[in-house]
Amino acid sequence: MLTNHHVIEGASEITARSPRHRCRMETVFADPTNDLALLRADPPPTGIALFRDGPQARLGEIVIVVGYPLGGLLGSGPQVTTGNVSSLIGPGDDTRSLQFTAPTQSGNSGGPLLDSDGAVVGVVSSKLNAVRVHEMTGDVPQNVNFAIKAALARGFLDAVGVDYHSRASGNSRAASDIAAEARDFVLKIECRG
């Protein structure tokens, strides 16, 4: 399972769960510089996320976030939000990430950023600190969120010798169909210690 390094950093015990699955996790590889980590699940989840073959995410493209935001405050099941790719670069012109508008909260980090066919185009990593920006500018930014580009995530998996699956992105599907599919591969990660 791929996630963000900051999600599991310093944890001595990692578990993951979804409405259909619960497992213990261990960190196999970590890349703090690019904020990525690879975890091994015991037992493994039943679903597999597929990366998108072909072009990277495009400006204006519809994207979907599936995750477990706010540590269960919103409920124990996965939450789904939709938006668009709003920039192909991250903060400070960081080319490793992209910006998107699908509402994102603490707890979405490490989850997939999916295209309109359900293929992975990024790994959700952060959001703009609206309070800090308001203090600096007087403006409250809305839905300014960031994801590590899928190409970087795939490069990380290639570098550590881990196979992954991909597919050509087809026709757009309903977000509800994508969410139903994602329930089998998006797990809530819980860390202790």
Just list the catalytic residues.
6, 35, 109
81 — alpha (psi -120 to 50), left (phi > 0) or beta? Answer: beta
Contacts of 180 (CB under 8 A, 6+ apart): none
Torsion sign (Cα): 144, 95, 65, 68: negative
Contact call for residues 23 and 130 (beta carbons, < 8 A):
no
State the Cα–Cα distance between residues 27 and 29, nearest whole angstrom: 6
Contact call for residues 114 and 174 (beta carbons, < 8 A):
no
State the Cα–Cα distance between residues 70 and 103, nearest whole angstrom: 12
Query: What are the φ/ψ torsions at residue 62 (nearest 5 degrees)?
Result: -70, 135
